Amino acid sequence: MVLRDSIYLFLALAVATETLSNPVDPCQTPNGQKGTCVPLQDCPNLHSHFEKGTIDPKIKTYVQRSHCGFVGHDPKVCCPSATPPAKSLLASSHLLPNRTICGMYTDNRIIGGEKTGLDEFPWMALLQYKIGTSAKIDLKAGFAKGYFADNGNLVFECGGSLINKRYVLTAAHCLLPELVKVRLGEYNTETNPDCVSNSLGTDCAPPVQDFGVEEQIVYRSYDSEDSDHYHDIGLIRLDRDVEYSDFITPICLPLETEDVYKSYVGKQLTVAGWGITERDVKSTIKLKVNVPVMELPECARKYKDLLNLNLALDSGQICAGGVKGKDSCRADSGGPLMHLKLEKRRESNFYVVGVVSFGPTPCGQKNLPGVYTKVSKYVTWIVENLKP
C-alpha cells in the first residue's frame, strides 16, 4: 500500500485532473523515444525504481513527465517501446504444460444450448468446503450463493482452473480454512459417472476425482476488506499429482509479453461453471456462456449509476458481461474467464485470462458486468509459486 500511495503522490504533482487513455496509445517519452502508454507496473524500467525504497529525485521528475493517463485509478506512463514491458514466460517454467496439452479445444460432444459437452472445459474444478452448524462461509463476492451440498456438511462454494498436474488457479477470496477438497472431472453433480446420450448412443466419462488441499497460496497484496477486490487471485496445491485424461486436462496461462497489454474490449470471452439457472436454482450440470468485455471506466460508471457503488477498477481487472440473466450467473467464484485463441497451423487453445472475482447482487442484471482478476498481470507470481 505504501508503494501504491507513493506512486499516486508523485503523479498527483504532475497532473491536475484525471485523464483516460486507451490501453495501447502510442506516446513519446520525455527523452523523445517512441513508447506505449501503459500502467506504471507494466513498465519494469520505471516501476522497478519504486521497489527500492528510496527514489532518486531525477527519477521522480522523469516519471511525472512520463505520465499519460489513468486506467481507473491506476496511473499510466509512457514506456519506451525499445524496452519490452514484460518478459515472455513461455520457456521459464518446466512445470507448466505446453500447448499440445493445455487448453485443448473440443466441440465434438456439445449437447447444445448453454450446457457444455461432457468433455468440454476439462480443467474446471469445484472447491469443496466443510461447514458446521455454527460455521458460515462468506465469500464476499456478489455471485450466486446457495451452492448445492454434496453430502452432510460438505458444500461446493467456488470454482477454479487446473493449470498443471499439481496446481489449481482460483480467487483469493475462495481460499479459506474450511476448504478441504478439490474435485476434477465433474460434469453433472448428481451422477457419477456422468453420461450423455444422443442419436449416436451413450457417452460416459470416468468417475470424478477428489483431491486434498496441501497448500493455499493467497496473492501477497490481497486484502479481503478491500471493496475494490484488487489482487483477488490465489493458488491451491493439491495433495498429489493429477493424471491427465480426456476429461481432466489443464488450461493454458497467458504467458506471452503481448498478453499483458490485451484489453479484450469488444471481444466475446467464455465463462463456465455450475452457476444459477434462469429458474434461480443452482445448476447440477456444467454451464457456459459467452460474455462481452467492457471498458473499465464504463464498467465503473455502470456500478455507480445503477448500484451507487464507487469502484476504482484498475488494469489488473477485467469487466465482462452485462447480459440479463447470464454472465455472472453461469460462473462460480474463482472460475475461469476464457479466451479461445484460434491458430491456423496448429490446434486452437483456451487460455484463462480472468478469474471470477465479484459482481452485482442479484447476479445477471442487465448492463452490470461481472469483474474478473486479469491473469496476465499475475503470471510471474504464479510461475514463481509453482513447486514440483
Within this chain, do residues 63 and 196 fall inside the same structural domain, yes or no? no
Within this chain, do residues 169 and 75 fall inside the same structural domain, yes or no? no
Confidence band, pLDDT 50/70/90 cuts, at residue 382: very high
Q: What is the CATH number of the domain that holds 39?
A: 3.30.1640.30
Q: Is 100 among the domain residues?
A: no
360 SS3 class: coil
Q: How are beta strands 201-204 and 195-198 bridged, if at all?
A: antiparallel
Structural domain including 268 reads: 124-384
Q: What is the CATH number of the domain that holds 346?
A: 2.40.10.10
Across 67-95, b (16+ Cβ under 10 Å) vs e yields: bbbbbbebbbbbbbeeeebbeebeeeeee
Average pLDDT over residues 346-369: 86
Q: Is 178 among the domain residues?
A: yes
Which has more confidence, 141 or 41? Answer: 41
Cell (9 digits) for 318: 477485467
Confidence band, pLDDT 50/70/90 cuts, at residue 383: very high
298 SS3 class: helix
Ordered alpha helix ranges (H), the chain? 2-12, 44-47, 57-66, 257-261, 296-307, 379-384
Out of 126-140, 267-281, 348-362, the most confident range is 348-362
Out of 4-13, 44-53, 219-228, 269-278, the most confident range is 219-228
Point out the least confidently predicted range of 76-80, 268-272, 292-296.
76-80
Residue finishing a domain among 14, 47, 80:
80
Out of 220-234, 315-329, 337-351, the most confident range is 220-234
Residue closest to 185 by CA, chosen among 109, 115, 250, 91: 250
Stated as kind and residue range, the H or E segment containing 126 is: strand 124-130
pLDDT of res. 44 = 67
Q: Is 97 among the domain residues?
A: no
146 SS3 class: coil
DSSP assigned state of 1? -
Within this chain, do residues 149 and 59 fall inside the same structural domain, yes or no? no
Within this chain, do residues 130 and 13 fall inside the same structural domain, yes or no? no
Q: Is the pLDDT of residue 63 over 80?
A: yes
Within this chain, do residues 183 and 289 fall inside the same structural domain, yes or no? yes
DSSP assigned state of 99? T
Q: Is 111 among the domain residues?
A: no
Which has more confidence, 108 or 49? Answer: 49
Long-range contacts of 17-25 (CB under 8 A, 24+ apart): 18/70, 18/73, 19/68, 19/69, 19/70, 20/69, 20/70, 20/71, 20/297, 21/68, 21/69, 21/70, 21/71, 21/76, 23/71, 23/261, 23/262, 23/263, 23/265, 24/261, 24/263, 25/68, 25/69
Within this chain, do residues 199 and 295 fall inside the same structural domain, yes or no? yes
Neighbours of 101 (CB within 10 A): 14
- Per cent of the chain over pLDDT 90 is 39
Residue closest to 25 by CA, chosen among 266, 317, 261: 261
pLDDT of res. 189 = 83
Q: Is the pLDDT of residue 45 over 60?
A: yes
Within this chain, do residues 270 and 356 fall inside the same structural domain, yes or no? yes
Confidence band, pLDDT 50/70/90 cuts, at residue 61: confident
Within this chain, do residues 259 and 369 fall inside the same structural domain, yes or no? yes
Within this chain, do residues 42 and 160 fall inside the same structural domain, yes or no? no
Confidence band, pLDDT 50/70/90 cuts, at residue 286: confident
* Burial environment of residue 318 by CB neighbours within 10 A (0 to 12, 13 to 18, 19 or more): buried
161, 333, 357, 376: the catalytic one is 333
Q: Is 142 among the domain residues?
A: yes
Within this chain, do residues 196 and 287 fall inside the same structural domain, yes or no? yes
Within this chain, do residues 160 and 281 fall inside the same structural domain, yes or no? yes
Residue 232 bears catalytic tag: yes
Residue finishing a domain among 53, 80, 107:
80
74, 232, 259, 327: the catalytic one is 232
Q: Is 172 among the domain residues?
A: yes
Q: Is 285 among the domain residues?
A: yes
Within this chain, do residues 221 and 365 fall inside the same structural domain, yes or no? yes
Cα gap 39→47, rounded to integer Å = 9
Q: Is 327 among the domain residues?
A: yes
Total of domains in the chain: 2
List pLDDT tens digits, range 119-139.
889 999 999 998 764 344 554
Residue closest to 125 by CA, chosen among 182, 167, 178: 182
173, 229, 231, 339: the catalytic one is 173
Residue finishing a domain among 26, 50, 80:
80
The chain-wide mean pLDDT, for the chain, equals: 80
List pLDDT tens digits, range 140-198.
443 333 344 445 588 888 999 999 999 999 999 999 999 999 999 998 888 888 888 87
Cα gap 302→295, rounded to integer Å = 11
Residue 143 — left, alpha, or beta (φ > 0 → left; ψ -120 to 50 → alpha)? beta
